[in-house]
């Protein structure tokens, strides 16, 4: 099952964020709750965790991309054995 990685509303929705780092590459395993992507706005660094245990399928917003709250920045595939 695929899960969208969404920029959370922890930050104000009117501010643009810049993706500054991905801690995993596509194809690598990810662990629920562990930092997966870093985004910055103003003087705020936001760490977005993996939503489930699985594999990072796709990065939709590579470093340098401008994103907003609610944007989907990546896809994580939850694998059967991870249930």
* Binding residues for other proteins (CB under 8 A): 9-12, 15, 18, 20-21, 33, 35, 38, 40-47, 49
CA 34 and chain centroid, separation: 10
Centre a 10 Å sphere on the Cβ of residue 56 and count the other Cβ atoms it contains.
Answer: 22
Task: With CA atoms as reference, report the closest residue to 38 among 64, 2, 77.
Answer: 64
Write down the least CB distance from residue 32 to other proteins, Å.
11
Write down the least CB distance from residue 26 to other proteins, Å.
20
Write down the least CB distance from residue 27 to other proteins, Å.
23
């Amino acid at each position: 099952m695929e899960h969208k990685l969404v920029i959370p509303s922890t930050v104000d929705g009117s501010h643009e964020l810049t993706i500054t780092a991905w801690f995993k590459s596509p194809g690598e395993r990810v662990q629920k709750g562990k930092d997966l992507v870093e985004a910055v706005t103003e003087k705020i660094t936001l760490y977005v965790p993996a939503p489930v245990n699985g594999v990072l399928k796709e990065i939709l917003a590579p470093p340098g991309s401008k994103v907003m709250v609610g944007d989907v920045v990546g896809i994580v595939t939850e694998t059967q054995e991870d249930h």
